[in-house]
Structure 1
Amino acid sequence: MRIRVCTDIRLPLKRKKILMFSPGNIGYVHFKYERMTLFCFFCGKLGRNDSFCEERMSLGFEVAEMG
């Protein structure tokens, strides 16, 4: 199923959500996002990439170049 939603991009994007269909019947929905510009895979926020993540820098992770 594909849906379009409005969301606050200052908050991290959700990867999955728990849904309760009936008492005792729980399921998970996994999200996939399309057409995003800059996205930080470390903190999950839009508008920056991994190399400029404030949370990553404050924890002291080093930048590793790939390829």
Structure 2
Amino acid sequence: EDQPIGRTHGGPMRLVVPHLYLWKSAKWLTRIDFREGDMPGFWERNGYHMRGDPWREERYSDD
């Protein structure tokens, strides 16, 4: 709508990870770490899938 994104909606910039469940995207970023491999975050440590591809129905971990 040709307006800046407000802070309540993740502004000034919003990260969207395409092709993954939306819980894999982040609303507020405080930093970005570049790593050689994947590490489980809060949701992955609590039963959600590491990748989260909706086309493969990877919402929950098989573990």
- Structure possessing the higher radius of gyration over alpha carbons: 1
With normalisation by structure 2, the TM-score equals 0.27
Which protein has the bigger helix share?
2
